Amino acid sequence: MLSRREKAGNMAGKDVETREVLIRRAEIDKRVRAVARQITRDFKGERVHLIGVLKGACIFLSDLVREINLESSIDFIAVSSYGRGKESSGQVRVLKDLDSSIAGLNVILVEDILDTGLTLSYLLRVLRQRRPKTLRVAALLDKPSRRLKPVEANYVGFKIPNEFVVGYGLDYAERFRNLKDVYVLHLPEDGTH
């Protein structure tokens, strides 16, 4: 069992990061199953095409697709808006596009976190131009207090406070994606430890 607060990084120096469990894996599993049941009900036997936003959504997408009781296919798109820091640059650019057409498909865009809405707003605009039959959004985490664009997810795992989170696919400078729980990450310059 993990402690509620953990240290990570350089333990010998003062540049020690700490993290606190925000959402345990068991809670995540339960919500993923609930979201999958809702998608299954909403699409009533129709095929769904899930698009994972790399890299953060890969773990959520893999768990979600296995719980959806419908014919499903998947694809991935990669965008960049963060670089290596905690704050979005506000500039969104496509790093990897879809492998196949989504015209006429029931598309569910799968995101790790809905934050400012800048990335999601951009992706929805791009994907709508490709004429899917339907276009919905599933986000593991929703941080509505940070929203700059008026976008919402159709399926949300958890609403969370305005904290920087890692784990279950979410990263800080490519670290912590492999953690099973979702953690609030406190960095030394935050002055929060």
Residue with tokens 């296995």: 66
- Residue 61, classed as helix, strand or coil, is helix
User: Do residues 141 and 113 touch, judged by C-beta distance below 8 A?
Assistant: yes
84-134, pLDDT tens digit by residue?
555 555 678 889 999 999 999 999 999 999 999 999 999 999 999 999 999
The tokens 């969104």 sit on which residue?
92
When pLDDT is averaged across residues 60-65 and rounded to a whole number, the result is 98
- Give me the amino acid identity at 157: G
**What is the average pLDDT value for the chain, to the nearest integer?**
89
Residue type, 51: I
Residue 193 has pLDDT above 50, yes or no: no
pLDDT digits (tens, 9 = 90+) for 8-43: 554 444 567 899 999 999 999 999 999 999 999 999
| Catalytic option among 63, 112, 115, 171 | 115
Are 43 and 106 in contact, with CB atoms under 8 Å apart? yes
How far apart CA 49 and CA 165 sit, in angstroms, is 27
Domain borders along the chain are 24-162
Beta carbons of 155 and 139 less than 8 angstroms apart:
yes
The whole-angstrom separation of Cα 10 and Cα 153 is 37
Residue 115: active-site member: yes
175 pLDDT more than 60: yes
pTM of the model: 0.86
At 47, which amino acid appears? R
CATH number, span 24-162: 3.40.50.2020
**Is the predicted pLDDT of residue 182 greater than 90, yes or no?**
yes
Written in H, E and C, the secondary structure of 121-149 is HHHHHHHHCCCCCEEEEEEEEECHHHCCC
